[in-house]
């Protein structure tokens, strides 16, 4: 991992060659150990302090690296000064001496994008240097008028006019007024009826962060931050500095109306037409085209968001021998359109998708599967979580349980939050170092446990599951609008009947049934229907799904629904829940959605709950109330066995199933509060060893074998105490 400019695969995945050596599992090398955030907080960062702290983080805490996070108004040396870089380079040199790695945190305070304006010294370095590339928002200037008059109004001079549209308040007829603008004045003879005259203007917001929708702004920010570090210490990139980390960008800023001046230009390139007549849909119901209009506009905004900073920093990182990770702010919003645009697609171009598990009423655990699925959708393997921030001095069981839940749901790069340079001025507890008397006796053991999880799960192995769930972003985009009643921070709009988060929790936490979210774009572009099922045809993260769940979805693309029909006709199982699709993302195509749904599930079967079947073995069912029992019964197919099955009536464990070079690896975690003592059925006739990540011990197992349906299964008896976990590793 420390050879300069190794390929990214080797840099992070060369561990697979030794990851199944029992001796290393017992005593994991430093390279597998977790890398916490190291807050340089509100104090003078001295060479003496660096020398005193870094060896303790390695030797007494069991960490393998650090991510230096400048923080607070009283930090010295001042951020991005020559003295600051001199002190930072000294820490890099010390890390290299100790065999530690460093992650380049890209901001002073957070969120990433301002260069110190927030949670730091208040200096908006990015705005000072690039004033034209800071955040923009979309404003609506609106007047009402009646027919028969001549409307005359100046064009707004507050920003860039994106569209001028008149909309009949009763019929929803819309007229593009761009042809009625002369000498910066709108002049229009108003037809009969009640009309809203709207100007949509992209204006500079007061927020000091970069324009999160602009690739130009992203590259400018990188030039101010990443390039400044690389210029002064290039020899350490790809050796000691192995990754970069961005923190908490979001679209709830700028009153949750983030926009960018080049939006229309990009829209015309994508769709071949002007978006002007769709702009009113950002605030209003515009009639039958509402869902299509919002999907076009919000969908493009999501693509711009993903293709700006995450893509730019990922490409820069690859060019400099490292990888990029980071996470959004407020990921715990069920409708992400107003916060992260699209919580799957925002990671489309990112090497290592991430999430933040922190304190307060922020249930990130409900969204782990979305972020890990985003990695698999776009053929990545690493998934990061910044974990334990602002949770207080939590007990050991909580520390272990949170980690086990994360790793069982696909996270394999847990970044502890945090250790502090000035441990007498800790802003967000816990302080996870040997200096905290609450943790100093067990922290090395805990980090050794995490290192063992990393050995077997932080790699390029394939995630395996039989069940996929369509991510209902098209419904959420279709129902979202600006200035919603919940306010910007909470996402603005609560979408009626959304159930995908609840179904996700029921599958993993109650039914013991793992699954993968599929983004509509990936379902269409990267999946094919074949004789085995619905195949995600990636290079590394490929899968063949036997069941597809379509959670509550008012809006869906015709192309997606046609592929789902093909899957059913080829023998696949489809489960719809709560709300059946009736609207299309494509304009004027609602009737096609209705026709396809009639083929998938005839009207007479919908109210009865009876399945629609075909001679190929295909099955479609609608669950109006998708409780745990209803889901369990709908998933069951007597002739087929899932990859992992728990006995009926037994509270299941959390688990993840991965495959390395054709060999299975399972991780089981008991978070149920009482011992699990039962046999688990694993598809296939195979032999396993039990690898205990809490002790490092490896034990041979002898399964019993049976036939279930058309499949052979291996029955493995497991006893796992509460807050404990085990690996099952297939042997020859």
325 and 190 housed in the same domain? no
Dihedrals phi, psi of 323, to nearest 5 degrees: -120, 160
Q: What angle do CA 325, 330, 336 make, to 5 degrees?
A: 95
Residue 559: both structure tokens together: 């192309």
Strand partners, 719: 677
**CB under 8 Å to 71, separation ≥6 — which residues?**
39, 40, 41, 42, 108, 109, 119, 120, 427
Q: Pairing relation of β-strands 160-168 and 704-708? A: unpaired
In-domain check, residue 724: yes
183 and 124 housed in the same domain? no
Q: Which domain holds residue 690?
A: 644-731
DSSP string, 620-673: EEEESS--HHHHHHHH--TT---SEEPPTTSPPPEEEEEEETTEEEEEEEE-SS
Distance of CA 340 to the CA centre of its chain: 9
What would the pLDDT profile of 444-494 be if each residue is shown by its tens digit? 999 999 999 999 999 999 999 999 999 999 999 999 999 999 999 999 999
102 and 114 housed in the same domain? yes
Q: Point out the domain boundary residue: 635, 652, 672.
A: 635
In-domain check, residue 271: no
Q: CA 642 → CA 74, 501, 610, 682, distances in Å? A: 56, 22, 23, 8
224 and 369 housed in the same domain? yes
CB atoms within 10 A of CB 650: 14
The closest alpha carbon to 284, from 576, 567, 479, belongs to 479
Burial (CB count within 10 angstroms: exposed 0-12, middle 13-18, buried 19+), residue 603? exposed
CA dihedral angle for residue 12, residue 458, residue 690, residue 505, rounded to 10 degrees: -170
What would the pLDDT profile of 595-626 be if each residue is shown by its tens digit? 999 999 999 999 888 999 999 999 999 999 99
Cβ contact 250:328 at 8 Å:
yes
Strands of 384-389's sheet, edge to edge?
A: 354-358, 384-389, 413-416
CB atoms within 10 A of CB 299: 22
Cβ contact 115:124 at 8 Å:
yes
- CA 148 – CA 192 distance, rounded (Å): 6
- CA 175 – CA 196 distance, rounded (Å): 10
pLDDT for 637: 83
Q: CA 598 → CA 113, 219, 365, 586, 595, distances in Å? A: 49, 49, 36, 19, 5
pLDDT for 732: 80
200 and 221 housed in the same domain? no
In-domain check, residue 257: no
Strand partners, 357: 387
Cβ contact 581:503 at 8 Å:
no
Give the chain's residues under pLDDT 50: 1-19
Stated pTM of the model = 0.96
pLDDT for 20: 60
Residue 111, preceding peptide bond in cis (omega within 30° of 0): yes
Q: Point out the domain boundary residue: 599, 615, 635.
A: 635
- CA 548 – CA 567 distance, rounded (Å): 9
Distance of CA 328 to the CA centre of its chain: 8
Cβ contact 416:36 at 8 Å:
yes
pLDDT for 640: 84
- CA 14 – CA 8 distance, rounded (Å): 9
396 and 377 housed in the same domain? yes
- CA 200 – CA 164 distance, rounded (Å): 6
16 and 63 housed in the same domain? yes
588 and 569 housed in the same domain? yes
Question: Looking at residue 692, which CATH number applies to its domain?
Answer: 2.60.40.1180
Residue 59: both structure tokens together: 């030797």
487 and 566 housed in the same domain? yes
Token pair 């304190």 in the structure block, residue: 359
In-domain check, residue 586: yes
In-domain check, residue 306: yes
Give how many domains the chain has, as a whole number: 4
- CA 719 – CA 704 distance, rounded (Å): 16
Cβ contact 499:506 at 8 Å:
no
In-domain check, residue 497: yes
- CA 732 – CA 716 distance, rounded (Å): 16
Question: Looking at residue 88, which CATH number applies to its domain?
Answer: 3.20.20.80
Strand partners, 41: 71
81 and 162 housed in the same domain? no
373 and 500 housed in the same domain? no
In-domain check, residue 1: no
363 and 504 housed in the same domain? no
Q: Pairing relation of β-strands 547-550 and 573-577? A: parallel
CB atoms within 10 A of CB 531: 9
- CA 573 – CA 636 distance, rounded (Å): 10
In-domain check, residue 504: yes
Q: Point out the domain boundary residue: 460, 489, 515.
A: 460
């Amino acid at each position: 991992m420390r050879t300069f400019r190794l390929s990214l695969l080797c840099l992070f995945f060369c561990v697979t060659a030794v990851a199944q050596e029992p001796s290393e599992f017992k005593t994991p090398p430093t390279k597998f150990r977790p890398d916490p955030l190291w807050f340089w907080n509100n104090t003078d960062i001295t060479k003496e302090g660096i020398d005193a702290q870094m060896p303790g983080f390695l030797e007494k805490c069991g960490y393998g690296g650090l991510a230096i996070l400048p923080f607070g108004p009283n930090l010295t040396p001042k951020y991005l000064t020559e003295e600051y870089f001199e002190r930072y380079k000294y820490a890099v040199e010390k890390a290299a001496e100790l065999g530690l790695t460093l992650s380049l945190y890209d901001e002073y305070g957070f969120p990433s994008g301002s260069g110190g304006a927030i949670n730091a010294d208040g200096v908006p370095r990015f705005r000072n240097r690039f004033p034209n590339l800071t955040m923009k928002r979309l404003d609506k200037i609106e007047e009402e008028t009646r027919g028969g008059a001549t409307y005359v109004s100046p064009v707004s001079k507050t920003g860039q006019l994106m569209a001028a549209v008149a909309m009949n308040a009763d019929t929803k007829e819309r007229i593009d007024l761009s042809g009625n603008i002369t000498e910066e004045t709108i002049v229009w003879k108003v037809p009969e009826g009640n009309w809203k005259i709207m100007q949509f203007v992209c204006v500079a917001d007061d927020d000091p962060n970069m324009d999160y929708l602009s690739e130009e702004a992203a590259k400018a920010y990188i030039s101010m931050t990443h390039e400044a570090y690389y210029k002064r210490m290039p020899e350490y990139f790809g050796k000691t500095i192995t990754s970069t980390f961005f923190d908490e960008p979001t679209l709830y800023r700028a009153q949750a109306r983030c926009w960018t001046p080049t939006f229309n230009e990009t829209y015309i390139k994508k769709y071949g037409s002007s978006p002007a007549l769709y702009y009113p849909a950002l605030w209003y119901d515009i009639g039958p085209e509402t869902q299509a209009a919002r999907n076009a506009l919000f969908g493009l905004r999501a693509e711009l968001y993903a293709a700006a900073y995450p893509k730019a920093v990922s490409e820069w990182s690859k060019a400099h021998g490292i990888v990029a990770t980071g996470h959004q702010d407020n990921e715990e919003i069920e409708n992400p359109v107003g916060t992260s645009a699209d919580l799957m697609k925002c990671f489309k171009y990112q090497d290592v998708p991430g999430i933040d598990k922190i304190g307060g009423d922020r249930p990130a655990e409900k969204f782990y599967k979305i972020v890990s699925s985003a990695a698999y959708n776009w053929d990545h393997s690493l998934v990061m979580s910044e974990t334990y921030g602002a949770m207080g001095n939590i007990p050991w069981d909580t520390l272990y349980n949170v980690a086990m839940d994360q790793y069982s749901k696909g996270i394999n790069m847990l970044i502890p939050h945090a250790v502090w340079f000035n441990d007498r001025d800790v802003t967000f507890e816990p302080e996870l170092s040997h200096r905290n008397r609450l943790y100093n006796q067990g922290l090395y053991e805990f980090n050794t446990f995490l290192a063992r999880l990393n050995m077997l799960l932080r790699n390029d192995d394939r995630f395996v599951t039989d069940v996929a769930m369509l991510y209902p972003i098209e419904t959420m985009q279709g129902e979202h609008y600006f200035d919603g009643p919940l306010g910007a921070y909470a996402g603005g709009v609560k979408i009626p009947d959304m159930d995908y988060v609840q179904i996700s929790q029921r599958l993993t936490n109650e039914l013991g049934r793992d699954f993968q979210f599929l983004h509509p774009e990936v379902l269409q572009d990267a999946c094919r229907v074949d004789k085995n099922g619905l195949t995600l045809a990636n290079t590394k993260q490929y899968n063949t799904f036997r069941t597809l769940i379509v959670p509550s979805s008012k809006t869906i693309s015709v192309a997606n629904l046609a592929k789902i029909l093909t899957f059913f006709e080829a023998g696949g199982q489809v489960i719809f829940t709560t709300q059946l699709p009736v609207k299309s993302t494509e304009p004027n195509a609602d009737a096609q959605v209705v026709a396809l749904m009639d083929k998938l599930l005839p009207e007479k079967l919908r109210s009865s709950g009876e399945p629609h079947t075909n001679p190929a073995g295909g099955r479609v069912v609608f669950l109006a109330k998708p409780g745990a029992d209803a889901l369990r019964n709908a998933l069951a197919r007597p002739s087929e066995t899932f990859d992992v099955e728990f006995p009926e009536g037994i509270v299941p464990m959390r688990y993840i199933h991965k495959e390395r070079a054709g060999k299975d690896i399972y991780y089981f975690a008991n978070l149920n509060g009482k011992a699990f003592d039962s046999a688990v059925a694993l598809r296939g006739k195979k032999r396993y060893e039990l690898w205990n990540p809490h002790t490092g011990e490896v034990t041979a197992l002898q399964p019993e074998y049976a036939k279930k349906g058309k499949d052979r299964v291996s029955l493995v008896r497991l006893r796992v105490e509460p807050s404990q976990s085990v690996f099952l590793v297939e042997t020859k």
